[in-house]
Chains A and B, each alone.
Chain A
Amino acid sequence: MRLAVHKFASCDGCQLSILDCEDELLAVAGAVDIAYFPEASRRMEPGPYDVSLVEGSITTAHDAERIQQIRRESKVVVTIGACATAGGIQALRNYADVEQFTRAVYAKPEFISTLETSTPIAAHIPVDYELRGCPVDKRQLLDVLVASLHGRRPAIPNESVCAECKRAGHVCVIVAHGTPCLGPVTHSGCGGLCPGYHRGCFGCFGPSSLARMEPMTEVWRSLGADDKTIDRALSTFHVASEANAAERARLEADDE
């Protein structure tokens, strides 16, 4: 199996999750032919590839062309992480003036050539599997690779983080501690990582497919969170997701 790992607008953290598969890394390298992975190797072979892992979102005209080429060269395309799957934190620009950002950040903003939006890979090409998370969960990442090797469907359950907390035996931080937590509306995959350390989930895996934000907002309000806090909680890695955007718009309309 020929594997490629591509990077778009992102922090490289998801690619590092591949290298973080320490115990399994040699076995992975033995089982698959890593043909293209600039983060890890100088060897960069041209396609076609059996599986392309894609990190990052589309933020430049060049990105938008390059992703088409990757799709043409790849049998299976898997997006890895919140940027590739939902547009990432950089999608905050979708709700602001990108020129203002470039002027604030860069000494020579005229050198910056960027699109006005940050969009997920699936907005540009058909995607076979999407792995969520900031960063991705390495067990899910390995499972996608192994599943591809053995010709089976990856096991990526579509459920809330609560299901993982309850299976793991974590005590609910909302009910027992009064800590605001996005777990009930967040897609599983992390194993209930943050609540397991007594912290509220901040939604880095994004809204689950049945996320009902209105009652979640009511729970946060009952725990003392004001609307600004809730708005900020929904304005992170998945700010551009439909569910978060709709709830933020509703909160804003409420305010007016």
Chain B
Amino acid sequence: MHNPRTILSHSDLGTLFATLHAEGRHTIGPTVRDGAIVYDRLIGPDDLPTGVVDEQAPGRYRLRHEGTRRFSWSVGPQSFKRWLHPPELRLFRATRTERGFAVEKPEAPPPLALIGARACELAAMAIQDRVFLGDVVDPHYASRRRDLFIVAVQCDRAASTCFCPSMGSGPRVSRGYDLSLTEVVDEAGHRFVVEIGSEAGRALAAKLPLHAATTDADAPERASAEAEAQIARRMPTDGLREKLLGAVASSNWDDVASRCIGCANCTLVCPTCFCTTVDDVTTLDGTHERVRRWDSCFHPDFSYLHGAGPVRSSVGARYRQWLTHKLATWHDQFGTSGCVGCGRCVAWCPAGIDIVAEAERLAEDA
């Protein structure tokens, strides 16, 4: 696709929102809440972070004010997973009738536009596509994914927890988006270099007050290079699958278990973890609802078998299941790694357990 780069001035961000709203879309994107950048429904550009940057380390996340940029931060605790694969979803409702029962399906969700998706987010979506749109299609994910419009943002800054280059997932946004923005702030003003990634993106761009990019045309590459230069953390991906599967009896699992609380936060913040449980709920009048909720392989009930109890009864066994699935057997199941290098499991582990450091030690063991 011929891809001429254009400029959207910062003062025209509102037009981007209005154009997406005119298509009937809800705009979902970053906003500051309770000391973190979370994704929520946005009304307009005023809801975006302004001059907020993040500092991340294992078990630690802080925001501070710096500059005037809207997107100069790395990913926060949430991923766009919660909008495509919601944490709690009513699958159906059934009510008794005279001759049996009537089933009512949930309302179709409104079409969404995701604003500010980074390369690792898009890589995670591509992985969840393989999970939910593979041999067995999940209709709930499919209905949210189908009409999605994605406004990606090129990272120009990285957190200490980021390791996307070693997972081959970033920092450059190169596919899976409709429009991408690179933020530029200098003497000439505050603006975004716009790249078009799809026909839908081209159609939307035609409705925006864009002008030709002259000196800024290489801004996306420069931003990515700047972000990549800040990334020191590297997953040792070479032969990692074989090494981890060869280390199932390693004493390192007991070592990590001694530091692991077993709280499941790593799986809950992971943008590719997809496990759920299903609960049947009834109301007093006999209305029945079936609800699907995020679950985790760290929960004791997750592997509970009648008569046998939890199959993975120790925290070490659960951590091993998570790590070997994410980094090794995911390849066998879905043809990719399950990790995109976003670093959320590192930053949001209360105990600061670092998946990269653990993988390194286990790989050495093999």
Contact = CB atoms under 8 A, between A and B. Distances in A.
Given A155-B281, A198-B34, A215-B259, A175 B301 contact: no
A171 B77 contact: yes
A189 interface: no
A95 to B, nearest CB: 25
B264 A160 contact: yes
Interface string A151-173: 01001011110110011111110
A31 B287 CA distance: 14
Interface in B260-286: 260-265, 268-269, 277, 279-286
Nearest to B282: A150
B348 A158 contact: no
A212 B261 contact: yes
Contact of B88 (A155, A167, A171, A183): A167
Interface in A58-109: none
Contacts of A215: 258-261, 351
A150 B286 contact: yes
Contact of A175 (B38, B82, B347): B347
B261 A163 contact: no
A159 B299 contact: yes
Interface of A: 24, 27-28, 30-31, 143, 146-147, 149-150, 152, 155, 157-160, 162-163, 166-172, 174-178, 181, 183-185, 198, 209-212, 214-216, 218-219, 222
Contacts of B62: 176
B133 to A, nearest CB: 23
B281 A170 contact: no
A168 B294 CA distance: 11
Given A160-B263, A162-B268, A212-B260, A172 B77 contact: yes
B335 interface: no
Contacts of B299: 157-160, 163
B285 to A, nearest CB: 7
B181 interface: no
Contacts of B351: 215, 218-219
Given A28-B284, A159-B299, A176-B61, 8 more contacts: A31-B284, A147-B282, A157-B277, A157-B299, A159-B301, A167-B293, A175-B60, A185-B263
Contacts of B38: 169, 171
A184 B263 contact: yes
Contacts of B111: none
A15 B247 CA distance: 53
Contacts of B88: 167
B209 interface: no
Interface in B309-344: 315
B315 A210 contact: yes
Interface string B278-310: 011111111000000111100111000000000
For the complex, would chain A's binding face be called helix, strand, loop or mixed by DSSP majority? helix
Contact of B35 (A30, A31, A176, A183): A176
25 contacts: A24-B284, A27-B284, A28-B284, A149-B284, A152-B280, A155-B279, A155-B281, A157-B293, A157-B299, A158-B301, A159-B301, A162-B264, A163-B294, A163-B296, A166-B87, A167-B294, A169-B78, A170-B34, A178-B60, A181-B350, A184-B263, A184-B265, A198-B34, A214-B258, A215-B351
Contacts of B294: 163, 166-167
B146 interface: no
B33 interface: yes
B155 interface: no
A35 B258 CA distance: 50
A181 B38 CA distance: 21
B184 interface: no
Nearest to B87: A167
A199 B235 CA distance: 35
B36 interface: yes
A215 to B, nearest CB: 5
B59 interface: yes
Contacts of B260: 212, 215
B156 to A, nearest CB: 23
Contacts of B269: 166
B81 to A, nearest CB: 11
A224 B347 CA distance: 19
A182 to B, nearest CB: 10
B265 A143 contact: no
Contacts of B78: 169
Nearest to A213: B261
B350 A159 contact: no
Contacts of A218: 259, 351
B138 to A, nearest CB: 18
Contacts of A211: 261-262
B85 to A, nearest CB: 12
Nearest to B353: A215
B284 A212 contact: no
A216 B34 CA distance: 23
B262 A146 contact: no
Contact of B284 (A146, A159, A214, A222): A146
Nearest to B63: A176
Nearest to B277: A157
A27 B347 CA distance: 46
A219 B261 contact: yes
A163 B265 CA distance: 7
A214 B257 CA distance: 11
Contacts of B265: 162, 166, 172, 184
Contacts of B262: 160, 184, 210-212
